[in-house]
Amino acid sequence: MTVEAPRGKTSLRLETWSDAVRRLFLNGLAGDLPFSFEHVTNADRSLKVEDFTLSEYNLVIPDILSVQPKMPSIFSFNGVIPVKRGQCYARVTLLFQDKQIAILSSAYVTDAKGITYPPGVHEGFTEGPGHLYSVAFPVPAFGAELSLEVPENVRWRVRAIYILLITDEAVFDRAVRVVFNLAYQLDYIVPDVVAQTASTTMMYYLGKNGETHIGTVDPLMVAMKLPDIVLEGGNTIETLTVDLQEGDRYA
C-alpha cells in the first residue's frame, strides 16, 4: 500500500532577536535535497521573522538543519562582529499550509554554537548565563538627574554602578539616592550614605556584594550596597538627589 504525503506548502520560519545586525545561515537536508537560506537580523533586539519555503506541494520534514552565524575571518576583518552568548536568539518552526506544526529548535546562537535539529535545542530567553557588558548613562544637563532605561526584549542583572557627582559652590548638603523603577513591583530605593557639600567631586560605587560605607583613605569615595533584582525592558535606573542645585552635574 502506498501512502502519499499530505499536499500543501511546507516552510521553515526563522525568528530572531539580536542586539546588532547579524547574518545567519539556515542550512540542512530535506528528502535528500540540500537547502540553504540567509537571514539578516534586526539591530535593536526587536523580532525579525522570515519564512523559507521547502516545498510548494508536499509536507516535507527536514532530516537535519542548523542555524549558524556568519563567522569572522581569522585572516582579516570582514565586517563580522563576533556573536557572544546572550546577544542573538533564534527559533526555527516547521509550518505546513502556513500553520505551525512544531518548534524544531530555539536557543542562543554564538560563534561556538549554533542551533540544530535533530536533536532540537529548546532554551528560553532567560535560561543559562547571559552576556556581561557595560552601559553608560546618558550625560544629563546641569542640575538634572541621571536616568537610564532598560531596552526592550532584555533582562538585566546589574552587577555594579559607578556615579560621579560634581557640585557647584551653592552651600547645600546633597544626598544621592539611586532608584530602580520596576513595572511589576514597588520601586527599590538605595538610600543615601553621606551628605555631599559644595564644590566637591564624589564617586559613588554600588556593588552587589559591597557594604555601605564611606572611604577610609579617600572620603570622597562612597560605597553603596546594590540590590539583587532583575530589570526588564522599560524599567529605569535613576538618581534621586536631595537639594540638587542648578550648577551641579553628574558625569
pLDDT in tens, 211-220: 777 776 677 8
Q: Residues 6 or more apart from 135 whose CB is under 8 A from it?
A: 148
128 CB-contact burial (10 Å; exposed 0-12 / middle 13-18 / buried 19+):
exposed
Q: Where are the alpha helices (DSSP H) in the chain?
A: none
Average pLDDT over residues 73-88: 69
Residue 3, pLDDT score: 55
192: closest CA among 209, 210, 173, 208? Answer: 173
Q: Longest Cα pair distance anywhere in the chain, in angstroms?
A: 95
pLDDT band at 76 (very low <50, low <70, confident <90, very high): very low
Per-residue model confidence as pLDDT tens digits over 43-68: 988 899 999 999 888 888 899 999 99
Cα 217–158–180 angle (5° rounding)?
A: 95
Q: What is the pLDDT of residues 185-225, one digit of tens each?
A: 667 888 888 899 999 999 999 887 767 777 766 778 888 88
Locate 118 and state its grid cell: 535533530
